[in-house]
Structure 1
């Protein structure tokens, strides 16, 4: 093709793969001529064999794909990730750690240059395979052995939100947690039942809450802490109803996600309770929906999209290969003024 157009092979390659290396007019002419002559560009498989690179980034999700694509925090993370990968003309292959087909998982994992792992990954076959691959890896929202990570300061964000809520001393406090125990049902936790996995973000948030409460003279027994298995409205609503019908009824709910907090507001209002007069509610995440309801949600804002951008830049070598801990921001609104 280069001979037919009287240009170098590098110029043909740049027209398809590195458009910034050519003027817009010259690139357009080359692409139009290639199309006219039936040449659709370099063979991706051949290029992969030659360079050892696929141009694909494997995004390993701790949850299943349907859940991750509907979760507002995960969606924001993927949006930030895609912004950087689009600019570099890289592809994103979404993988779920919950895929039980090991043969398919191995095949998919062979099609990528490395992995960005999002969410807490339980130790098991997928965990072990990732460590054995020897490919570039960046972990997000948890610490992976021997791997650069990008996290937010979950402990400090939770502690600051609890300290704010405690400025108006409550009578009774309950905590609505997320995946604090290894179960598929909504439940209260028992002593020593918590994940002893210090890397889980929910445990860090819980420690932030309890440290602030203890410093203010409050003791929250295990039976005043609920755990939801998923960050869905259904599970959150069930946990909120159980908490708000318990005795003594809490007048402060510390919620580990905005979805849980929004479900708690709905449950409280449907029970005839006033927010914040009868029960104050604090969330965590800073999703847009929290600002658009009434009463608006007091919450901890985390930089979900920026986590994705930073993880992509580290993966691509555009940013120093070092751990990143992002700060959070307390947003004080109507649900807990």
Structure 2
């Protein structure tokens, strides 16, 4: 009986090709380090000889590195992959990890703690995205773990943010300048300490600024209102618990179905999804945009720019946030906190 054929190794392949073992390793793990022609030659020869690539387990034991980067999402995986903003962010992260030969591991802070801890133990570093439900999450991560926070602050670690307060001031100031509006209102996103999918009352306690970026957006709106002589305390606010049409719709319907004398003539919305939901429901009711109702959003998602009327909004480059966070966690960018700029997009929903 013949003995089984010996498994070809990385050294065997390097010898066959007349290149170094590091060059072969780069062809599988760091393709950006090689010319496309050389990488194709190495991969072609590897396939012919039956070599499937470096043994990940052996490499991890040898180097103490898994080449896995975990993104911990504040929301569920289903929500995050369907949401236009978070999916653009994840695409930016994946783009960098792909070129650097790393693997992306997606985790949700809403998973059971034991599940999260077991999965997190495999990662070399962590990118934390969004408002975490509890700080206890960070106690369960490996000691001295590399971590970058995005749209959220974690003590002792760098963060990536956009200029939320100045951006909201700029767009609200524009909305209040183009035409006199007597009944502005604000539609918030997850701003109250206890769940509230409806009108915000004096009994509701708002999350503190360090817990959510929506407080910075609210501050920007308030500053613009005060500039135009409006008492921000008298401007009605509604809160939405999840940035989806199904959850937004009942809140927006409540607003639009108010008597004519009470219905807002300007909605300052903290996301494009909120504004687009309002736009759809307003059109169903025969309201003219922007004559009867002026709308502004925030995010700059493609959907808001591909329909008529185009949404007036703030464009944030979520893909750039993802790319920057990934480069920081890999040590390709200095690990200090960054504040990214945004862009005011003047559409037809507020002019």
String of CA shifts for 1:265-324, please: whole Å, max 9, x gaps: 111111221110011001011011111222111111111111011111111111121111
Q: Which residue matches 1:290?
A: 304
- Which residue in the other structure is 2:314 paired with? 300
Give the equivalent residue in structure 2 for 1:158. Answer: 168
Indicate if the aligned counterparts of 1:57 and 1:112 stay in contact, CA closer than 8 A: yes
Residue 13 of structure 1 corresponds to 25
The correspondence for 2:199, drawn from 188, 194, 201, is 188
Q: How does 1:162-173 map to 2 (within 5 A)?
A: 162-167=172-177, 168-173=179-184
Between the aligned partners of 1:250 and 1:29, the Cα distance in structure 2 is 65
Alpha-carbon contact 2:196-2:240 (below 8 Å) kept: yes
Structure 1 runs, 4 residues or longer, greater than 3 Å off: 3-39, 182-185, 220-223
5 Å matches for 1:44-123? 44-100=56-112, 102-123=113-134
Provide closer, same or farther for how the CA distance between residues 87 and 14 of structure 1 changes in structure 2, counting only shifts above 3 A: closer
Contact 1:117/1:139 (<8 A) preserved: yes
Alpha-carbon distance in structure 2 between the residues aligned to 1:9 and 1:277: 68
Alignment check: 8 A CA contact 2:171 2:313 kept: yes
> What is the aligned partner in structure 2 of residue 177 from structure 1?
188
Structure 1 residues 47 and 240: CA distance shift in structure 2, 3 A: same
Q: Alignment RMSD, CA only? A: 2.1
Measure the CA separation in 2 of the matches of 1:175 and 1:218: 13
In structure 2, the CA distance between the partners of 1:290 and 1:9, relative to structure 1 (3 Å rule), is closer
CA–CA distance in 1 between the matches of 2:252 and 2:297?
A: 13
1:217 aligns to what? 229
Partner secondary structure for residue 133 of structure 1: coil
When normalised by structure 1's length, the TM-score is 0.92
The alignment covers a number of residue pairs equal to 335
**Equivalent residues of 2:32, 2:99 under 8 A apart:** no
State the distance in 2 between where 1:327 and 1:24 align. Answer: 35
* Structure 2: runs of 5+ lacking an equivalent: 1-8
Q: Paired residue for 2:210?
A: 198
Aligned to 1:207: 219
Please tell me whether the aligned partners of residues 157 and 208 of structure 1 are also in contact (alpha carbons under 8 angstroms). yes
